[in-house]
Every structure is written in structure tokens, then in C-alpha cells.
Structure 1
Amino acid sequence: MSFVMPVLNEHAYLEHAVESVLAQDVDVPTELVLALGPSTDGTTELAQRLAETDERIRLVGNPAAHIPVGLNAAIRASRYATIVRVDAHSELSPGYAARALATLERTASANVGGVMHAEGRTPFQKSVARLYNSPVGLGGGAYHGSSQEGEAESAYLGVMRRQVLDEVGLFDETIRRGEDWELNLRIRQAGHRVWFDPDLSVTYWPRESWTRLARQFRATGAWRGELVRRFGRRNGLRYFAPPALVLVAALALVLGALQLAGVITVTVSWVASILVYGPLALYVLLVMGVALAPGGGGARQRLWTLLVLPTMHLSWGIGFLGGVLRGARDTVDASRLGTRNTPLP
């Protein structure tokens, strides 16, 4: 079993992620292949020290620093029949690998994934994590909290049969975000099964600051827009909600300017206000309801929710519209650049 992990500026998270991989108890040989990007926070040196302490850890280079390039380099360097994608910002639950292997065999699937359970330490990160775990935050994909096992559109991270990867090709290196969705599309088009198992759980640590979160979501939205350009309606309808919100907000600004200038009639203004301001008012109520709902944490976490939820939706929507109109081009997730060297407790 080969665990593959692209790594860039993850000094604060890498050791925890590696420990969760090496602690997996399975009855087959294992290895962990780290694809190292050009980190600036000491991540490369940490990875080298970890590799010196355990012969199961192997290192390959990823000078381009792009996730699919790193994944492909790690997969090509791997030796075993099962590929387990791991994120340096995540930690596998105990028994994850053994359960995934059993599910692969039981369901005759090509790729198996489970639940991405976000966690946080600061009030800001806890607010983001709560929204990650909520269908209101990220649109209700199965891996954000569904309890229903079955065939799926995609899989979070994924435990994959190497034979199927060789058959359909590895990750598309022209796609910087959403590369897992596109790979799973090819797997399904080739007649193989992608499976969701809610008993598989991965802890995910969201971005630690508002600016990094906004950058991450804008980049992710841009690449989803690119995927819509390439694959059209194969993308689910839920992906179109954030850009719709952006368009309504833009219309509200235009309508407000026209009303202030007095260039539209009272009747037109009244009807337009209902059609434009109405949905925005409902969205504001939704955000406030989420912030005040039970389980929202302390006062600081609830206040952050009032900012974080629209930031996630608007940043993603703005990126999506840009990706649809002009393509994602060279958009990168700038939130992964220049992180601080601050270890976690």
C-alpha cells in the first residue's frame, strides 16, 4: 500500500499527517512517498529528518509545486498495488487504511473515499471547520458529512487501485484544483465504481487566516469554472449557487446606484428591489441563522462565522465566474505560499 502526499509549506502540519499514516495497521507492506515542493518554511528539512527516522518514508521532488504534478510523481515512484492519497493538512483516523482496503474488496470499487471532518483550534479556524462540515458551507457533497454509503461522484483523497490508474491515466496535470473530481469522472466513464464509505474519516485542518481562506476559495472556484468550461453539465448544480450570489450582489449595487440617481421609475424600482434585494435579504438571514444556531461556539467564533460564510461563498463565486469567462489559466492557490513556521500542539 503506497501513501502519496504532495507537500508545500506545511511545517506546522506535516509531522502530524505523517504520524497518522505510519500508525496505520494493515497486513500488507506500506510506504509513504512525499512529493516535496519548494517550501520556504522549513518543510523540506523536516521531511528529510522524518525520512531518516523511518525507511518507509521516501522523497521525490515537485519543483512545479502543483498538486497533480506532485501526486503523479509520487505515484510513479510508488511500488504497491493500492494508492492512498493523503493531504499534508489532514490526519487519517485509526484503522482508515484497513477499512478502506476491506471496502475496496467488498464493493469491487476502483476508488474509495470517506468523510472529510474539519477541525479547528482558534475561534477563526473552528468557525471555518464548522462551515466545512455543514451543507450550507460547501454545498452538501457526500464527503462533508453524509451517513449514506454508496456510489459517489467523487471521493475525498481516495484509496485507489493502481491498475485502474494505469488504465485511465494519472491525474491531469493541466488541472490545478479539482483534479480529483476529473480523475474520478474518467474512472466512472471507464466503467469503474467510485464509492463513499462514511465509516472512513479524515481530519482536515482549514486555513488559519481570513486572507488565506479567501485566496484558497477564489482559486478553487476558478478551477471549478474551468471544469465547467471543459465538461459542462457533468458538474453538479450546487456549484452554480455561489456565482449566482455574486451576480445578485452585483445587480444590487447597480440597482442601488440607479435608484440614487433617480433614473428608473418608482414602479420599476419597486419590482426590481423585490427581485434583487429580496434574495440578498434571505441570504443575510441565512448567515445570521447559521451564526446563531446551536453548536456555533463562543461569541468570537460566531462573529467570525458572520464573515467567514460570505467570504467562502463570494470568493468561490468570483473565482468561478472568472474561470468560466476566461479560464483558470495559471491560477494557483496562493494560500499555500509563505506559511509561518509555527508547530501545532
Structure 2
Amino acid sequence: MQMPFLSVVIPCWNEVRFIAGFLDSVLGNTYPADRMEILLADGYSDDGTREVVRRYAARDHRVFLVDNPGHSKPAGLNRAIRRARGDVIIRLDVHADYPPDYLERCVRGLLDNPGADNVGGIRLSRARDETLLGRAIAVSTTSVFGAGNSRYRTGAAEPQWVDTVFGGCYRRSVFERIGLFDEKLTRAQDREFNQRLRAAGGQILLLPDITCTYYARSDLREFCAWTFEAGYWPFQASRLVGRWIGSWRNVVPAGFVLTLAAGAALAPLPRVGRTARRLTGAVLAAYGAAALGFAAREARRRKDPALAAALPAVFLATHVIYGIGSIRAVLDRRGGKR
């Protein structure tokens, strides 16, 4: 059976550190070379990314550079999709490595499951820099305690229908039916699109035998900024599109932060202070026990004892910063113009 023509779309901006390895990974896939194209929507990078892409395009007919004025991911994705010729469109991320059969497995997942409109797999996580902090951040993004019930991060034992996947491999008819990515959203565009797809009767299938490796942020400042944005955008995006696009896992960190803030505010008061201190202490004790337990389990599983000490701090930073980002979004009435 002839495989459908596949369009690989990638938004990028200033990715010179990763772009060559990424392209080598994609071009080395087993998908038939005459049945695919690779469209990189670049936001006018000024670090050498465009020159690298042009070199690859000059020697491989599958690679195309698509200009994307500005840095908007959804705008870049939409530009690439409009130019795409494929019957199947897969969205990839530059900060990941893909095994040789990744594209083929994703497309066959669509072909073998007629009810699926979007197919994806498990996103493994690896530190960009092999420091203790980098390793702890990478592990936290795959832990149930750090990532909630996001199956493409935490893993799954068998195929299952989910609310979203990493990247995604779509039938072209999906975009013809429900439209393209919402360009109002700086982030959370994949989440919003997949929710819109499910609301229109579409289904998203997670196949655990499909995996890729994502390079998580290892720098503390980058990690904090990324976590704040991750907490901010489900709420701000919901305001911008006029409906809630998140899940319970997006609300829990904000509840945790508000509980601690309320406890701190009430603690000095004469009538309720003692009760507030006890309740806040109980919440922190329960949280600390859970964080230590999950950290010890991950350290044991990965044979990295140092993680037992570093992970609790990363878990706490993740939940507090994420929660502050969510609260800021609820209070921010500027429509995402930040």
C-alpha cells in the first residue's frame, strides 16, 4: 500500500543550537522520501538558523523554508499548513529527537484507526544540560506529581483516547473541517485546537509505542519563565477564545498557592490564626511528604540518588510559579498583550 503524502510542519525561531540535529533526525526517518515534505516556518531568526535551513534545503528537495513575520507559533503553523501538499500533516518541535520510524508509526496509527483524527505518542524528557538541576527539571516534567494526568508526558500502558498529545499527526480534513490554529494565542494553541477538534466530534489517540525525546529547559531562569507562561496561558487563552480550554490539572497549582497565601494572611489574626496555622502546616506537611515520596521513587527508578534531594525543590518551584502564573492570568485584563 502506498503511504499518503506527508507534510511535516515546524514553527521555529532562533534554534541554531538544535536545528541541524533536528533536521538530521527527521530526514533520517524511514518514511518514503518521495512521499513527504518538511516545512519550517521561521520567524526571521537572527542567530544563523535560517542559513542552516537554507543549506539543508539546497541539498534535499524535501526541505522548505517558510517565512513567518514575527515569532508567533500559530501564525507559523498556519503559513506552513496553507502551503502543505500532504493528505496527512504532522506538527513537530525542534527541541526533540525522533526515532527513525517515528513518522511512519504516526501515519500508520491514523491509517489503522479510522476513528482517530489526531495521533501522537509518549514524549520522553531529557535535560538540555546534564547538570543536577537540568536532570531534575527533565524528570519533573514526566512525573505524575509534576505533570498531573497528562498522559503523553507520564506514559500509558496501552492505546487510549486523550484530550491532547505532543505535536500531533492530523488528517488534512481536520483543518478543512474546523479551521487552523488560533493566531490570538501566543501559547496553548495546540490545546485550544485539540479541544475544538473534540468539540466537533473528533478523537485524539495516544499510542504508547510511539515515542520521541524532548530536551527540557535546564537553565533556572528559562525554567521559571517557561513555567510561569505554562500556568498563565490556559487561563488567558480561555479568556481570548471565550471558553475554558484547560482541565483540572491547570487549576490545582493556583489552589495550592491561594491556600498558602490565605494561611499566611490569616495566621497573625487572634481568633482564626491558630486554626489557619494548623491547616496551612497540614497542607505543607502533606505536600512535603508527597514530594519526597515521588522524588525518592524517581531517584530509585533512574538510579540517580541526587534526584531525591533536588526533585522536591523543583516540584515546589513548578507548582508555586505555575500557580502564580495562573492567578496573574485571572487578574490580567489586557488580553494577553504582555
TM-score greater than 0.5 by the shorter chain: yes
Amino acid in structure 2 at the alignment position of 1:250: A
User: Are the counterparts in 2 of residues 222 and 327 from structure 1 also a CA contact under 8 Å?
Assistant: no
Partner of 2:200: 190
Structure 1 residue 39 displacement after superposition:
2.9
Residues 1:237 and 2:243 are matched in the alignment? no
Q: CA deviation at 1:162?
A: 1.1
Q: Is the contact made by 1:21 and 1:92 (CA closer than 8 Å) also made in structure 2?
A: yes
1:322 and 1:328 in contact (8 A); partners too: no
Between 223-232 and 203-212, report the one with greater CA deviation. 223-232
User: What's the counterpart of residue 281 of structure 1?
Assistant: 285
- SS of structure 1 residue aligned to 2:93: coil
Paired residues of 1:225 and 1:327 also in contact (CA < 8 A)? no
The 1-side partners of 2:317 and 2:69 are apart by 31
Instruction: Tell me: CA distance 1:40–1:297, structure 2 relative to 1, closer, same or farther (3 Å).
Output: farther
Q: List aligned pairs for 1:160-199, cutoff 5 A.
A: 160-199=170-209
Measure how far apart 1:100 and its partner are.
1.3
User: Hey, what's the Cα distance between the residues in 1 that align with 2:68 and 2:41?
Assistant: 6
Q: Tell me the distance in 2 between the aligned counterparts of 1:222 and 1:328.
A: 13
Indicate yes or no: 2:15 matched with 1:5.
no
Q: Does 1:215 align with 2:222?
A: no
Ranges in structure 2 where 5+ consecutive residues have no aligned partner: 1-5
Q: Is 1:255 matched with 2:266?
A: yes
CA shift in 2, pair 1:282/1:328, >3 Å: farther
Identical residues among aligned pairs (%): 30
Q: Matched residues in 2 for 1:203 and 1:247: separation?
A: 34
1:180-224 per-residue CA deviation (whole Å, 9 max, x = no partner) reads 111111212222221111111111000120110110111121111
1:69 Cα offset (Å): 1.0
Distance 1:232 1:277 in 2: 36
Matched, 1:54 2:63: no
Q: Which residue of 2 aligns with 1:15?
A: 20
What is the 5 A alignment of 1:65-104?
A: 65-104=71-110
Q: Please state whether the residue corresponding to 1:114 is helix, strand or coil.
A: strand
8 Å CA contact 2:192, 2:245 repeated in 1: no
Of the three residues 110, 113, 137, the one matched with 1:128 is 137
Name the CA shift for 1:240/1:328 in 2 (closer, same or farther; >3 Å).
farther
| Count of aligned residue pairs for this structure pair | 325
- 2:314 pairs with 1:304: no
What amino acid does structure 2 have at the position aligned with 1:44? R
Determine helix, strand or coil for the equivalent of 2:227. Answer: helix
CA separation in 1, counterparts of 2:62 and 2:120? 23
The alpha-carbon deviation at position 234 of structure 1 amounts to: 5.5
2: CA distance, partners of 1:321 / 1:296: 34
Whole-Å Cα distance in 2 between the matches of residues 204 and 327 of structure 1? 33
Specify which of 142, 155, 158 is matched with residue 148 of structure 1: 158
Q: 1:225 to 1:297 in 2, by over 3 A?
A: farther
Partner of 2:235: 225
Residue 324 of structure 1 and its aligned partner are, at CA, apart by 2.3
SS at match of 2:181: coil
Contact 1:221–1:318 under 8 Å retained in 2 = yes
Q: Is the 8 A contact 2:288 2:312 kept in 1?
A: no
1:250-308 Cα offsets, whole Å, 9 max, x none, are 1233234x2xxxx413xx33322222221122112222333333136545544432332
Partner of 2:3: none
**Structure 2: which amino acid aligns with 1:112?**
V
- SS at 1:238's partner residue? helix
SS in 2 for 1:113: strand
Change (3 A) 1:21 1:328: farther
Shift of 1:166: 1.6
Question: CA–CA distance in 1 between the matches of 2:38 and 2:28?
Answer: 11
SS, match of residue 12 in structure 1: coil
Aligned-partner SS, 1:84:
strand
Q: Which residue in 2 is equivalent to 1:24?
A: 29
* Structure 1: unaligned runs, 5 residues or longer: 333-345
Match of 2:323 among 313, 317, 323: 317
Change (3 A) 1:234 1:254: same
Which segment drifts farther, 175-184 or 44-53?
A: 44-53
Cα drift, residue 231 of structure 1: 5.8
Once the two structures are TM-superposed, the CA of residue 161 in structure 1 deviates from its matched residue by 0.8
Q: How big is the shift at 1:14?
A: 1.4
